[in-house]
DNA sequence: TATTTAATTTGTCATTCGATAAATAAGGAA
DNA sequence: TTCCTTATTTATCGAATGACAAATTAAATA
C-alpha cells in the first residue's frame, strides 16, 4: 500500500545466500513446484514460490530444461537406496519376509506426492530417464526376486524368462498403483499399506509357484534374448 | 511460393461440413491431439492438425476447457461397454474364465495410447472425472468380482471388506500398469497380453482364497462403512 | 439466377512465456 | 572507510497463448 515505515519490521531483509546453498534450495523447491503444477508451468511461478525474481533462476541454470534435468536426478537417482538390493538377496530370511521388508521400505520412499507426480509427468513427456529407471527396477529388483524365488521353491537355477519378469512387474505395478490411487487420485479406502503389500506378496508367491511348476522353463519354449 | 495456377489441382478445395459432423470430427481429432501433446498444448496446434483456423474452434466450443470436457466424456463415458458387467456375473462359467474374458475385452478398449494418455493427463490435472471413473471400476467391476469369488469358493455371502477391494485393485492395477509400461513407457518385453492377464488372474484367485480363508470376514474386525 | 444463411477466415488484443542485458546492492577484502 | 566481487533486481524483447469481432465465402433457399 504505502511506503514501508520503520515500524514495519516484517521487511523480508532478503538474504544473500552463497551460490551452492541457493542452488540446492532452488532444486528442492523446484521439485515441489513442478510436481504440483507440471513441467509446463512457468519459471515465473517457480520464482514466486522461491521468493526471488525470475531472471535469477538463469544465473543458476542455463535454461528451464537444465533445471528440470536436475530435478529428475534429484528424484530418480538420489533417492534410490543401495541397501535395497542386498536385502533382497539375504537368504538367511524367507523370501516373502524379505519381500515384505523391501516393499515397505521402497514404498516409504516413492509413496509421496512429489515422487509420484514427477514420475508420471516425466513419463508422459517421454524423457528417457523413465525408461532407464524401469530398467533399473527390472534388473536390480525384479530379476533378483525371480532368482531368489526359484531357490525358495527348490527349483533349479535358470535364466529368468520374459513372462516371469512380466509377472513380477504385475505385482510391482499393482503395489505401485496403490500409491497412485492414494496420492494422485485420492481414492484409497484402506490406508493399511502394510496389509496391502502383504496380501500382494502372498498372491505373487502363490501365483509364481503355480506358474513355475505348471510350465517349467526347461520344458517350455526357449527364451529369445 | 507463387500464386496457384490451374495445373495445381492439389488445392484442398476446403470442404464446408455441416455443424454436427464437423463438431464430432473436432472432438475425435482433439482426443488424438491432446492425448499426444497434453492438455496444455495450444488450440492453434489443434487447429493446424484439423486443417482449419484456430478461431473456428470457438464456433463449436465456448472455450478450450469446454472442448476438453467433451474429450473426457468421449473417452471415459462412451467407451465403457455395458456388456462387461453381466459377463462377470454369469455363473454358468467358472470365475477365472469370466475374469480372463473380461480383462481381455476390457484391455482391448483401454490399452491404446490415446486412452492411456488421456487418463494419465487428466489424473494429474486432478479433474474429478477420474475419481468418478475409479468409483465406477470399483462398484461395477471389482466388488462384483469379490462377490462372485466368495460364491466360487463356497463361502457365505458377506459384504466385501475394504481390504478385499484393495486386493482386487492391486490385481486390476497390475494389469493396468502392464498397459502403461507398454503404451506410455514403451518398455514391455513380452507382448503376450493374454498370458500376462491369465497369470495375473491365477495369482489373484490363489491369493484371494488364501486371504479369505486365513482371516474370514465374519471373525475379523467389523467393517467400518 | 438472386438472396439468405451459416461455415470459415482474417485481423487483432491483452497476457504470458522463456530468455537476455543492464542496473543495483549486499557483503567481504583492502 | 573504500573497493571489488557477485548475488539479485529492473526492464525489456520476441514469440506464443486464449479469445473475440468483423470480413469473407460456400452452400442452401427462393
Cβ B117–A130 below 8 Å, yes or no? no
Cα B16 to Cα B22, B33, B180: the distances in Å are 9, 22, 39
Query: Which residue bears the cell 510350465?
Result: A215
Model confidence at B2, pLDDT cuts 50, 70, 90, reads very low
Cβ B123–A120 below 8 Å, yes or no? yes
Cell numbers found for residue B95: 470365475
Q: Is the CB of B15 under 7 A from strand D?
A: yes
Model confidence at B19, pLDDT cuts 50, 70, 90, reads confident
**How high is the pLDDT of residue B15?**
64
Which residues touch A203 (CB under 8 Å, ≥6 apart)? A171, B167, B170, B171, B203, B204, B206, B207, B208, B210, B211
| Helix ranges, B38-90 (H) | 43-50, 54-60, 64-72, 84-88
Closest residue, by C-alpha, to the C1' of D26: B16
| pLDDT tens column, B53-75 | 999 999 999 999 999 999 999 99
Selected for mutation to probe chain B from A177, A184, A188, A204 (highest B CB count within 10 Å) is: A177
Of the partner residues A117, A173, A195, the one whose CB lies closest to the CB of residue B173: A173
Model confidence at B6, pLDDT cuts 50, 70, 90, reads very low
Positions of strand D less than 7 angstroms from a protein CB: 6-11, 16-22, 26-27
Cell numbers found for residue B222: 467389523
The one-digit pLDDT tens for each residue of chain A (225 residues) are: 333 333 333 334 456 666 777 899 999 999 999 999 999 999 999 999 999 999 999 999 999 999 999 999 999 999 999 999 999 999 999 999 999 999 999 999 999 999 999 999 999 999 999 999 999 999 999 999 999 999 999 999 999 999 999 999 999 999 999 999 999 999 999 999 999 999 999 999 999 999 999 977 765 455 544
What global pTM score does this model have? 0.91
Buried b (16+ CB within 10 A) or exposed e, B188-220: bebeebebbbbbbbbbbbbbbbebbeeeebeee
How large is the greatest C-alpha to C-alpha distance in chain A, in angstroms?
A: 86
Q: Is the CB of B19 under 7 A from strand D?
A: no
Cβ A170–B203 below 8 Å, yes or no? yes
Amino acid at each position: 500500500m504505502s511506503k514501508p515505515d520503520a515500524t514495519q519490521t516484517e521487511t523480508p531483509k532478503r538474504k544473500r545466500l552463497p551460490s551452492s546453498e541457493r542452488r540446492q534450495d532452488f532444486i528442492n523447491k523446484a521439485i515441489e513446484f513442478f510436481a504440483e503444477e507440471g513441467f509446463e508451468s512457468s519459471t515465473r511461478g517457480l520464482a514466486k514460490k522461491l521468493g526471488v525474481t525470475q531472471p535469477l533462476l538463469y544465473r543458476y541454470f542455463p535454461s528451464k530444461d537444465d533445471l528440470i534435468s536436475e530435478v529428475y536426478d534429484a528424484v530418480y537417482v538420489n533417492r534410490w537406496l543401495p541397501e535395497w538390493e542386498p536385502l533382497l538377496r539375504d537368504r538367511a530370511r524367507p523370501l516373502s519376509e524379505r519381500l515384505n521388508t523391501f516393499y515397505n521400505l521402497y514404498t516409504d520412499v516413492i509413496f509421496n506426492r512429489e515422487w509420484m507426480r514427477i514420475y508420471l509427468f516425466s513419463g508422459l513427456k517421454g524423457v528417457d530417464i523413465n525408461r532407464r529407471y524401469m530398467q533399473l527396477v527390472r534388473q536390480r529388483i525384479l530379476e533378483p526376486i525371480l532368482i531368489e524365488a526359484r531357490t525358495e521353491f527348490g527349483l533349479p537355477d535358470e535364466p529368468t524368462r520374459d513372462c516371469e519378469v512380466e509377472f513380477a512387474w504385475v505385482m510391482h505395478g499393482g503395489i505401485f498403483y496403490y500409491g497412485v490411487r492414494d496420492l494422485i487420485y485420492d481414492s484409497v479406502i484402506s490406508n493399511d499399506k502394510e496389509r496391502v503389500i502383504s496380501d500382494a506378496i502372498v498372491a505373487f508367491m502363490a501365483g509364481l509357484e503355480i506358474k513355475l511348476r505348471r510350465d517349467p522353463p526347461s520344458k517350455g519354449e526357449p527364451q529369445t534374448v
